[in-house]
């Protein structure tokens, strides 16, 4: 296996068994360098066992197929385990029988806490952990949870812990804007990963610069629409809704994230006060605000279609007659024709689209091998841009063949991609059957994507890590990194800020690298102790919150129609994740849709239909365990009434009452005591 001199330089401490972070740019061979460390480790260490951990499911198969299996298969046993593989059910034996296990960090974390013999493993079962994209090792991320357990075991001297090798292109600054805070962030990442040193080339840095040249950066700025009758009409309707509410103090900053936050609070207020008028108006105002955000990003017709589909779906799903809903349906119907006319008038179309067309024609019309990526914020805008490309005759004339690349996670707003869908798109792009990807952040890091001639950041406002990752995709000769935004916008200012933060990050890393070893080790030890104490305090506080009320004192009301449907004591937790209602009478309150297709297989159950209140409010989905179904509910769809008042919650962990942890069979017996579960 051939490595560049700069790769040899950065992995040298890892070959000696030290914990390090390898900091190299995107496309410079971090994974290949790690592969060599794995190979040497397996060859030289007795009873070696390696886990390669990734933070996204699609990277499991990528690392297996492209790197680890081809190079190690002749001498070692390599296995890839994800949520879709049956090996997950026998994780302990799979670990025992293989030398290299490639899996998501969540699968390993679950196995560490699983009491079943077939699934349980210990960190001490491994001799080396490779942590890909290790800058995610912070806060409540799964990497950090895993490493918290590692550091606690280290503090207690519990067994021989594995060596750690972290890989990253950009540790970031952790939102810090001062040098000292940025340095503190880098030290915290190092402490979280129990790092001996963060490694980057010093002797062979010139070789790295030649290998990973930066693309030409350009700002492609456009002006705002001279007129916006479509946006103006949406704002007029939103004002009418506020007047209907009797709200004279509302903010008119429509089409902004700030306004969305205010509307979320209004919806919460309506739910807690059992005011259907406030809650329903807030829901519709949020949809209009979403439409304005879409209108600002892509075509007017995309924004109109979003609203139109929402109202068609509402008419179908909402079965109760409600005066507020009738008013809202009527106001949309009365303005629908005017919205259609303005949405289809090309005179008022989004100027960002014509600028994007100009960029793509210039960069992708030069060579048959030219390829590019357009990064956009949401799945919705990715699909809308794809439709626009396919309907644009000038782009089709120069042979642009585009596809969407988004995440595999389930979304109730837009169609999600399965892992197979993702792999198919990437393979077609790699084989040049496609020359343009329109992607969300899923393509920023980790994916094995060919060198691109053009990378466009389309109206994006993200952090310095995303900027570095996206820019790293433009690696072809004479490549261009374009920031497409409105002149004077927040996106332009943020991009310039990100450049400054990137430099701040580099300075902070270099300062940490220069720290005297004794001082560095002492600081790392202090940060690790503080993290353990902080976590234990946080866990104690959460436990106090949960024990505040007895489960039988708490009632759950449907968030939409305010009907009381169950007590907290009706609920049980399965695998610390799924919250099911074991009261057989609960079925009288909901209806079930056709089965929901999921992108991945579950271990012990298959998804049934979506469960909804009789009023149309979605509550969750059925979990079918063998022949028995259990209703799995999401707390965010309910209002929780306690002895002290009414509240709403987004997540179960924030609910102020305990739910007992049971397994599937126990819950089945509780709901169906006379049923034999086979």
Q: What is the pLDDT of residue 599?
A: 62
Q: Is the pLDDT assigned to residue 502 strictly greater than 80?
A: yes
Cβ contacts of 488 within 8 Å, gap of 6 or more = none
Q: pLDDT tens digit string along 228-283?
A: 899 999 999 999 999 999 988 887 899 988 999 999 999 999 999 999 999 999 99
What's the rounded Cα separation, in Å, for the pair 473 and 443?
9
Average pLDDT, the chain: 91
Q: What is the pLDDT of residue 152?
A: 95
137, two tokens: 């090792």
What's the rounded Cα separation, in Å, for the pair 458 and 485?
7
Beta-bridge mates of residue 628: 625
Cβ contacts of 660 within 8 Å, gap of 6 or more = 572, 573
Q: Is the pLDDT assigned to residue 57 strictly greater than 90?
A: no
Percent with pLDDT over 90 in the chain: 71
143, two tokens: 């990497």
CB neighbourhood size of 478 (10 A): 11
Average pLDDT for 308-323: 82
- Rounded to the nearest angstrom, the gap between the alpha carbon of residue 492 and the centroid of all alpha carbons in its chain is 24
Q: Are 235 and 335 in contact (CB under 8 A)?
A: no
pLDDT category at 448 given cuts 50, 70, 90 is confident
Q: What is the pLDDT of residue 602?
A: 72
Q: What is the pLDDT of residue 635?
A: 93
Q: Are 563 and 570 in contact (CB under 8 A)?
A: no
Lowest mean pLDDT among 52-61, 103-112, 200-209: 52-61
Q: Are 53 and 143 in contact (CB under 8 A)?
A: yes
Q: Which residues of 617-632 are buried (b: 16+ CB within 10 A; e: fewer)?
A: bbbbbbbbbeebbbbb
642, two tokens: 């306690």
Helices (H), 158-212: 179-192, 205-211
Three-class SS of 525-550: HHHHHHHHHHHHHHHHHHHHHHCCCC
Helix (H) or strand (E) holding 642: strand 638-642
3-state DSSP assignment of residue 128: strand
What's the rounded Cα separation, in Å, for the pair 138 and 148?
10
190, two tokens: 């190092």
**What's the whole-model pTM score?**
0.88
Average pLDDT for 420-440: 90
Q: Are 479 and 453 in contact (CB under 8 A)?
A: yes
Residue identified by tokens 């806060």 is 139
CB neighbourhood size of 384 (10 A): 24
Domains (ranges, CATH) in the chain?
A: 5-211+526-530 (3.40.50.300), 216-224+350-487 (3.40.50.300), 229-348 (1.20.1320.30), 551-671 (2.170.150.30)
Cβ contacts of 530 within 8 Å, gap of 6 or more = none
Average pLDDT for 461-474: 91
pLDDT category at 610 given cuts 50, 70, 90 is very high
Q: pLDDT tens digit string along 334-365?
A: 999 999 999 999 999 999 999 999 999 999 98
What's the rounded Cα separation, in Å, for the pair 659 and 652?
9
Cβ contacts of 164 within 8 Å, gap of 6 or more = 19, 20, 128, 129, 131, 147, 150, 193, 194, 195
Lowest mean pLDDT among 49-58, 559-568, 589-598: 589-598
What's the rounded Cα separation, in Å, for the pair 184 and 58?
32
| Residue 358: Cβ-neighbour burial (10 angstroms; 0-12, 13-18, 19+) | middle
Cβ contacts of 365 within 8 Å, gap of 6 or more = 398
């Amino acid at each position: 296996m051939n490595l560049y001199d700069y790769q040899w330089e950065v992995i040298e401490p890892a070959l000696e068994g030290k914990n390090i972070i390898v900091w190299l740019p995107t496309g410079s061979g971090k994974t290949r360098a790690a592969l060599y460390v794995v190979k040497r480790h397996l060859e030289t260490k007795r009873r070696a066992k390696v886990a390669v951990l990734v933070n996204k499911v699609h990277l499991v198969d990528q690392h297996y197929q492209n790197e680890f299996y081809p190079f190690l298969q002749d001498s070692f046993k390599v296995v890839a385990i994800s949520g879709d593989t049956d090996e997950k059910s026998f994780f302990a034996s799979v670990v025992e029988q293989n030398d290299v296990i490639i899996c998501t960090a969540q699968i390993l974390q679950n196995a560490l806490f699983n009491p079943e013999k077939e699934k349980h493993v210990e960190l001490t079962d491994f001799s080396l952990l490779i942590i890909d994209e290790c800058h995610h090792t912070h806060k409540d991320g799964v990497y950090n949870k895993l490493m918290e357990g590692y550091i606690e075991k280290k503090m207690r001297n519990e067994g021989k812990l594995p060596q750690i090798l972290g890989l990253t292109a950009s540790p970031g600054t952790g939102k810090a804007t001062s040098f000292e805070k940025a340095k503190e962030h880098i030290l915290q990442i190092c402490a979280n990963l129990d790092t001996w040193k963060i490694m980057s080339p010093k002797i062979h840095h010139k070789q790295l610069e030649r290998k990973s040249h930066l693309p030409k950066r350009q700002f492609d700025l456009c002006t705002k629409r001279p007129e916006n009758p479509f946006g103006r009409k949406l704002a007029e309707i939103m004002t009418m809704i506020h007047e209907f509410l009797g709200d004279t103090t509302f903010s008119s900053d429509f089409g902004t994230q700030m306004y969305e936050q205010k509307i979320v609070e209004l919806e919460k207020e309506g739910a807690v006060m059992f005011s259907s008028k406030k809650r329903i108006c807030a829901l519709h105002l949020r949809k209009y605000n979403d439409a304005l955000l879409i209108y600002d990003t892509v075509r007017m017709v995309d924004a109109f279609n979003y609203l139109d589909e929402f109202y068609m779906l509402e008419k179908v799903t909402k079965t109760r007659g409600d005066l507020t809903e009738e008013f809202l349906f009527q106001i949309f119907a009365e303005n629908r024709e005017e919205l259609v006319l303005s949405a289809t008038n090309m005179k008022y179309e989004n100027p960002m689209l014509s600028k994007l067309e100009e960029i793509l024609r210039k960069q992708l019309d030069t060579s048959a091998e030219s390829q590019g990526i357009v990064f956009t914020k949401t799945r919705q805008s990715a699909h809308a841009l794809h439709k626009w490309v396919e309907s644009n005759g000038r782009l089709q004339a120069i042979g642009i063949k585009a596809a969407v690349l988004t995440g595999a996670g389930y979304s109730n707003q837009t169609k999600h991609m399965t892992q197979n869908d993702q792999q198919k798109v990437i393979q077609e792009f790699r084989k040049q059957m496609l020359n343009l990807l329109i992607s969300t952040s899923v393509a920023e890091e980790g994916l094995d994507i060919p060198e691109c001639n053009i990378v466009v950041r389309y109206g994006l406002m993200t952090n310095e890590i995303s900027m570095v990752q996206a820019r790293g995709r433009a690696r072809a000769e004479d490549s261009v990194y374009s920031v497409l935004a409105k002149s004077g916008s927040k996106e332009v200012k943020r991009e310039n800020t990100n450049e400054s933060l990137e430099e701040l990050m580099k300075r902070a890393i270099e300062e940490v690298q220069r720290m005297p070893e004794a001082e560095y080790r002492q600081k790392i030890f202090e940060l690790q102790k503080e993290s353990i104490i902080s976590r234990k305090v946080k866990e104690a506080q959460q436990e106090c919150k949960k024990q505040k009320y007895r489960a039988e004192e708490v009632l759950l009301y449907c968030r939409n129609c305010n009907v009381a449907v169950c007590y907290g004591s009706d609920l049980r937790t399965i695998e610390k994740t799924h919250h099911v209602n074991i009261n057989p009478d609960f079925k009288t309150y909901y209806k079930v849709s056709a089965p929901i297709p999921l992108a991945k297989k579950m271990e012990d159950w298959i998804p049934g239909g979506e469960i909804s209140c009789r009023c149309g409010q979605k509550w969750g989905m059925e979990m079918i365990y063998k022949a028995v179904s259990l209703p799995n509910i999401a707390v965010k769809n309910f209002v929780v009434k306690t002895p002290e008042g009414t509240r709403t919650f987004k997540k179960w962990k924030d609910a102020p009452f305990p739910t007992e942890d049971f397994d599937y069979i126990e819950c089945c017996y509780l709901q169906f005591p006379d049923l034999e579960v086979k």
